[in-house]
Each structure stands twice: as structure tokens, then as C-alpha cells.
Chains A and B, each alone.
Chain A
Amino acid sequence: ETGVTQTPRHLVMGMTNKKSLKCEQHLGHNAMYWYKQSAKKPLELMFVYNFKEQTENNSVPSRFSPECPNSSHLFLHLHTLQPEDSALYLCASSQVTLRFSYNEQFFGPGTRLTVL
């Protein structure tokens, strides 16, 4: 596998279900991101992890819970979602140094989530 992979590619869940999205990067990067892409709206940054530490949470509801066990893996745990949470969820990674951020991000193919 190369680049950034995401599983599953498609997910349908009820509002009472609990599910998790997985992201893995094979680029040796040390920063990972979750984005939400909804129709007719700009990409929304949800969470940022630098060196496995969460550095940003853009007012995301608590029904979304991220986890970053190491610099290569990122999870998004989902529970009691709402239909308006249906969207494409994209994972990305980049290389960050203490002196300079190479802020080009590499994206995975996304998980298409449908909440019924």
C-alpha cells in the first residue's frame, strides 16, 4: 500500500450505531487530519494531530471521537450520529518540523458515510 488509505470506503449506519473509520498513511509523516466534505460547502477541518498529539478540534460535536495511537494511524469513532452527518470523510497527512511546516497535505480516497 502506498500513500494514504482509508477503510471502509462506504458506510451506512443508523443513528444508534457505533462505528469507526480508519486511516493509515504510508508516507512517514508526523501529522494527520480529519476533514468533512459536504455538498456545496468548503472542506471542513475537524481534527489535527501533530506527533500523535491532538492540536486542533474545530468545534466538532462529541459524537465524533478521534484517536491517534501512532503517527501512521488515525481513527474516527462515531456514535449516535445524525442524518446531517452524512458526508465524505477525508483523512490527510503531512510532514511537520519544528522549524518549518511542509504544509502540503496528502489525502486518502475518503469514506462515504450515510446516516439513516
Chain B
Amino acid sequence: AQSVTQLDSHVSVSEGTPVLLRCNYSSSYSPSLFWYVQHPNKGLQLLLKYTSAATLVKGINGFEAEFKKSETSFHLTKPSAHMSDAAEYFCVVSQTGANNLFFGTGTRLTVIP
């Protein structure tokens, strides 16, 4: 069975400060992990993905995530928040080789000017 837990439903940061969005996963198999972002009234856009290559994954817009198997975590970080980063972020797990995705409940990121 696979599942994802996003530990914070809402995160608020000041512009220019670091962002940390936390995600823990559960998977019986070798997982693929993703972070998607959803801006208001838009579809989901892939930020980055982990598929058993390097454990530190770099994505678009300066985001990165580190896969830590011992902690079953895949936290999303960014060194400096920008106003345009305000959105909903979803952590997603899938069994490598399968095409079903399991979504977390999302974390809403607010960026304060």
C-alpha cells in the first residue's frame, strides 16, 4: 500500500526567507515521488520528481527535494521565497512501474511581502 502524509496544511513565510514543505510517504515497493504545484484556478504542474537516481532532486523555479529512505521523507525546500510561489503544493507517491498516483492532502503556501 502507498500513501503520503503532508505534515502541514498551511505554511506561511516572508518573502526572501526559506521554504520547507514536509512530506512523509509509505510504500511497499520502490517508490517514485513527485511534488506538484497548483496555482489558483489552474491545473497541477510538476515541480520535480524522484525515480531512484540522485537522492537530491532539483526542480523548476529554484525548488529542490531530498529523498531520505531512512526517514521515509521527501521534503520540498527553496532557499528564498518569492511572491509567485504562493500556491497549493502536493506531494505524490507512486510505485515505480505503475501509473497510479497517490496524492497528499496538500500544503497551502502563503508568502508575506
Contact = CB atoms under 8 A, between A and B. Distances in A.
Interface string B92-105: 00101111111111
Interface in A33-86: 40-43, 45, 48, 50, 56
B45 A107 contact: yes
A100 B96 CA distance: 8
Interface residues of A, number: 26
Contacts of B43: 4, 6, 90, 107-110
Q: Name the interface size band of chain B.
A: 20 to 34
A104 B45 CA distance: 10
A31 to B, nearest CB: 6
B99 A103 contact: yes
Interface of A is mostly: strand
A110 B45 CA distance: 12
B90 A103 contact: no
A101 interface: yes
Nearest to A55: B99
Contacts of B49: 104
A45 B98 CA distance: 14
Contact of B98 (A6, A42, A103, A106): A103
Contacts, number: 54
Given A42-B104, A42-B105, A106 B46 contact: yes
B69 to A, nearest CB: 19
Contacts of A108: 43
B51 to A, nearest CB: 8
Q: Which of B42, B90, B94, B101 has the most CB of A within 10 A?
A: B101
A101 B45 contact: no
A16 interface: no
A113 interface: no
